[in-house]
Amino acid sequence: MEINELKQIVEALLIATPEPLTETRFKACMGRAEPVLPLDEIIEELQAEYSASDRAFFIKEVAGGYQLVTKAEYEIFVKGLFSKSGKLRLSQAALETLAIVSYRQPVTRNDIEAIRGVSSDSSLRTLLDRKLLEIRGRDDGPGRALLYRTSIEFLQYFGLNSVKDLPKLREVEDILSEDQGELV
């Protein structure tokens, strides 16, 4: 296989890959196509091409693989993509915390940690920063712990009129239990 063809294939892979492209993954994608150069050699050629044609991105070596990233000088424009982004992006930890607050509100930090089994400080901070949660009042218990609830922004994002409109667990079970009929 020629270098130009290989360069194009690697470019397609870099565009489509959701995680850094490793040598192993590259080989798997190439299947039985032969002969194939080592990934780092192809990357080097491609990198030179991007640099010569003044592309706004380059190939970054990261976590044992390669990924397309934008050049630092475009950072001021790119960050505009993530301010009030249309899509909600959260870590698994933050999602778990959000799920517990949604269904159990109002809750204290202790309530959340009892269910998750791990400290949830930083998730709570992230969710407060993103205005998905808010602090409203204090628990009556001895510690007078802060109470967390979901915010108006949370309702708007998910198109809900009130937290009462959250899907009930029973409604989820209906959809999830489809396979039972086949056991008959």
Partner 1 sequence: MMIKPHRIDLEMFEGPLDLLLFLIKRDELNIYDIPVAQITKDFLEYVNLAKELKLHSAGDFVLMAATLMKIKARMLLPIEADGDEEIEDPRTELMNMLLEYKRYKEAAGAFSNLERVERPHYYHIPGAWDPQQEDKTAILEDIKLYDIMLTFRYLLKNYEEPVTHSVAIEEVTMSEQVGFLNGLLQAKTSLKFSSLLEQFESRLIVVVTFLAILEMLRGRQIKVKQTKLFDDLLLSRGAEFGN
Considering only residues 95 through 154, tell me which ones interact with partner 1, judged by CB under 8 A.
95-96, 98-100, 102-103, 113-119, 128, 131, 134-136, 151-153
- The pair of structure tokens assigned to 139 is 């628990």
Among 2, 35, 81, 183, binds its own copies (CB under 8 A): 81
- Give residue for tokens 């959000």: 98
Cα–Cα distance between 167 and 175 in angstroms, integer? 11
11 binds its own copies (CB under 8 A): yes
41 binds its own copies (CB under 8 A): no
Give the residues across from 66 on adjacent strands. Answer: 21, 61
87 binds its own copies (CB under 8 A): yes
68 binds its own copies (CB under 8 A): yes
| Options 1-9, 25-33, 40-48, 73-81: segment touching partner 1 (CB under 8 A) | 73-81
**Residue 12: what residue type?**
A
167 binds its own copies (CB under 8 A): yes
Cα–Cα distance between 121 and 133 in angstroms, integer? 13
**Residue 109: what residue type?**
R
Kindly state the smallest distance separating residue 162's Cβ from partner 1, in Å.
Answer: 14
CA dihedral 69, 71, 75, 81 (to 10 degrees): -40
List the single partner that 9 binds among its own copies, partner 1, none, CB under 5 to 8 Å by kind: its own copies
49 binds partner 1 (CB under 8 A): no
**Buried residues in 121-160 as b, exposed as e (16+ CB within 10 A):** eebbebbeebebbbeeeeeeeeeeeebbbbbeebbebeee
Among 34, 35, 86, 184, binds its own copies (CB under 8 A): 86
Q: Which is nearer to its own copies, 8 or 40 (CB)?
A: 8
Give the binding-site size for its own copies (rule: CB under 8 A): 63
- The pair of structure tokens assigned to 106 is 């109002």
Instruction: List the x/- string, 113-152, binding to its own copies by CB under 8 A.
Output: --------xx-xx--x------xxxx-----x-x-----x
How many residues are recorded in the chain?
Answer: 184
